[in-house]
A and B are shown apart, each in its own frame.
Chain A
Amino acid sequence: MRQRLLVFLNSLAVFAAFLLFWQLIIWLGHMPAYMLPSPWRVAQVVSKRFSPLAESFEITAFAATVGLIGSILAGVGIALLFAQSRWTRRLLYPYTLLLQTVPIVAITPLILMWVGAGTGAVTLITFIICLAPIIANTTQGLIAVDENFIHLFLMHNATRSQILFKLRLPNAVPSLFVGIRISAGIAVIGAITGELFAGSNSVGRGGLGYSIIYASQQLQTDYLFALIVAAAALGFSFYFIVAFLEWYFLHKWHESARKPEVE
């Protein structure tokens, strides 16, 4: 308990030092507010323009969440298909590789053309870049089952579906979470990147990525900073939610399950 308090006070001190450093740069470098606004000014704009900020946050959070959940569902489905035989893997794996290697920015214009700008396009972009890590990790977990376990199931005349659902699938949960952790990180990045290009279908209103572009064009640097803080907060929330879910599902039996806190 005392140690926790100490850690808390320390991080508070580090944060204060960071703000001080920021302020010092402004004072010593004579930076104008449109180049680098002060921490105080950023805090002010956060409270003054809280409602559009929250709206942007929500739009991005929605696209990132739906894209991520969609990629988990589709990714697990595809991994189940891959786990069926070496043949399906050989046949289909190159396409996952393609998914991973084609820069998302390169196919964004196509997506814009097909589904139009807005949340739909952003969600689709997020879905696409989240998919590969889920497929790769889940497939790995489904395949990497100790031979003795297979023998054990065969000795009880287990059916193919029993082996899949009672052995392979639970065995894959830890590696599925490895995939989700990776994808949760890039989901937020993906949604914001998507919004830079395809963010909105109405001028002045959209997710964080769209608003970042808009604010920078208007030279509203203080609001731009507020948006960056919001984007960071969104990334953090994703990280902690996933870490918590992982802990919740795995801590009872799996060694690698981490506690949802920063050590």
Chain B
Amino acid sequence: MSAQTRLVQDFAVPQIEFAGVSKKYQRLIIDNLNFAVAKGEFLSIIGPSGCGKSTVLKLISGLATATSGSILVDGMTPENARETISFIFQDPTLLPWRTVRANAVLGLELERMPKEKREIRVDSLLELVGLSHVSRAYPRELSGGMKMRLSIARALVTGPRLLLMDEPFAALDEMTRDRMNEELLRLRDELKWTVAFVTHSVSEAVFLSTRILVLAPSPGRIHADLPVNLPNPRTAELRATLEFEQTVTAVSRILRGARSA
């Protein structure tokens, strides 16, 4: 097999593939989920509470295992694919006893990367998310937005190919959230990960995504699978356009439908 065909084949392997996935705790949370996410997609998962959005991320990461069905991440089991995945939680989950810099470096430290190498990586990453000037501060000295940026920097430090984000900006005020959305897209243009993003906010989902998965509740199942065909790159001005407004309205209507489905 030549290098080129390998590359093409590799590209053809979906980043995420769910085949007949169900998850049962006490009751059925997710029922027969089938979908695939191609490399480079930005997938948002929205739905009423109880539709198992967060559970989907846990399944992709292998933090939870499916009761039935199969999940492949980059052609591997979630556990084996972990090195290529980073998880960003709703809470910034920063270690309070570590400085900004020591928090950012955590992933590399756990993976036992040599010290000199990880220092260089962390420097450039803190620069990228705009936290270089506070690298010696402790988390409690940071604002909500800065904490989240640090959480993102920590997730990026291991060079992931897939980012899982579970309502990462839900606790931020609207202005900060909008700015974080723009920064996230800027980083993605540069670093080209695939993203699975859980959110409550339709406008956030529309602004960020190339595709939106709407789940219906009890048990969680796919209600709609919507491509988002807005122009790229997306900037703050996009939010003011009629096209954006219309898309948000349309997705909101579908989400309401999912509630009663």
A contacts, CB < 8 Å to B: 146, 148-149, 151-158, 162, 166-167, 170-171, 173, 252-255
With A148-B91, A252-B138, A253-B139 in contact, do A154 and B97 touch (Cβ < 8 Å)?
no
Instruction: For the complex, give the distance between the alpha carbons of A154 and B107 in Å.
Output: 10
The answer to whether A156 touches B95 (Cβ under 8 A) is: no
Task: For A162, give its contact among B87, B97, B110, B158 (CB under 8 Å).
Answer: B110
Shortest Cβ distance from residue A205 to the other chain B in the assembled complex, whole angstroms? 46
Question: Which residues of B in the span 23-64 have a Cβ within 8 Å of any Cβ on A?
Answer: 61, 63
Name the contact of A157 in the complex, choosing from B82, B98, B139 (C-beta under 8 A).
B82
Q: A156-B111, A166-B110, A170-B95 are known contacts. Are A253 and B89 too (CB-CB below 8 A)?
A: no
Q: What residues of chain A lie closer than 8 Å to B138, measured between beta carbons?
A: 252-253
Which residues of the partner chain B approach A148 to less than 8 Å between Cβ atoms?
Answer: 89, 91, 93
Whether B87 and A152, one on each chain, are in contact in the complex, defined by CB atoms closer than 8 angstroms, is yes
Contact between chains at A156 and B107 (CB < 8 Å): yes
Note all chain A residues with C-beta closer than 8 A to B127.
none
Q: Could you list 18 A-B pairs, sorted by A, with CB under 8 Å?
A: A146-B91, A148-B91, A151-B63, A152-B87, A152-B93, A152-B106, A154-B63, A155-B61, A155-B85, A155-B86, A155-B87, A156-B82, A156-B107, A156-B110, A170-B97, A252-B138, A253-B97, A253-B139
Chain B 92-136: CB-based contact to A (< 8 A → 1; otherwise 0) = 010111100000001101110000000000000000000000000
Query: Which residue of chain A has its CB nearest to the CB of B158?
Result: A156
Q: Closest CB-CB distance, A141 to chain B, in whole Å?
A: 12
CA A162 to CA B93, docked complex, whole Å: 17
Q: Across the interface, do A153 and B110 meet the contact criterion of CB distance under 8 Å?
A: yes
On chain B, the residues within 8 Å of A252 by CB distance are 138
Contact A149 B93 (CB under 8 A): yes
**Closest Cβ neighbor of B138 among chain A residues:** A253
Q: Are A151 and B89 in contact (CB under 8 A)?
A: yes
A203 and B106 CA atoms in complex are apart in Å by: 60
Which B residues lie at the A interface, using CB under 8 A? 61, 63, 82-83, 85-87, 89, 91, 93, 95-98, 106-107, 109-111, 138-140, 158
Contact A173–B97 (Cβ < 8 Å): yes
Q: Do the beta carbons of B97 and A158 come within 8 Å of each other? A: no
List of B residues within 8 angstroms of A156 by Cβ: 82, 106-107, 110-111, 158
Interface of A is mostly: helix
- Cα–Cα distance between A219 and B83 once the two chains are bound (Å): 77
Q: Are A151 and B140 in contact (CB under 8 A)?
A: no
Compute how far the CA of A151 lies from the CA of B166 in the bound complex, rounded to whole angstroms: 13
The answer to whether B107 touches A254, judged by C-beta atoms less than 8 angstroms apart, is: no
With A162-B110, A253-B139, A255-B140 in contact, do A155 and B97 touch (Cβ < 8 Å)?
Answer: no
CA distance A156 to B93 in the complex (A): 14
- Supposing A152-B87, A158-B110 touch, asked if A146 and B93 sit within 8 A by C-beta, the answer is yes
- B140: chain A residues within 8 A (beta carbon): 253, 255
Enumerate chain B residues within 8 angstroms of A149, measured Cβ to Cβ. Answer: 93, 95
Residues in A whose Cβ lies below 8 Å from that of B106:
152, 156, 166
CB distance from A250 to the nearest CB of B (A): 9
Give A149 to B98 CA distance when docked, in angstroms: 13
A155 touching B96, Cβ below 8 Å: no
Name the CB-closest residue of B to A252. Answer: B138
Q: Within 8 Å CB of A170, what residues of B?
A: 95, 97
B156–chain A nearest beta-carbon distance, Å: 13
- Known contacts A151-B63, A155-B61, A253-B138; A167 and B95 CB within 8 A of each other: yes
CA distance A153 to B95 in the complex (A): 11
The 9 A-B residue pairs with the shortest CB-CB distance, nearest first, are: A156-B110, A148-B93, A253-B138, A170-B97, A253-B96, A158-B110, A253-B97, A155-B87, A148-B89
Nearest CB of chain A from residue B123's CB, rounded to whole Å:
20
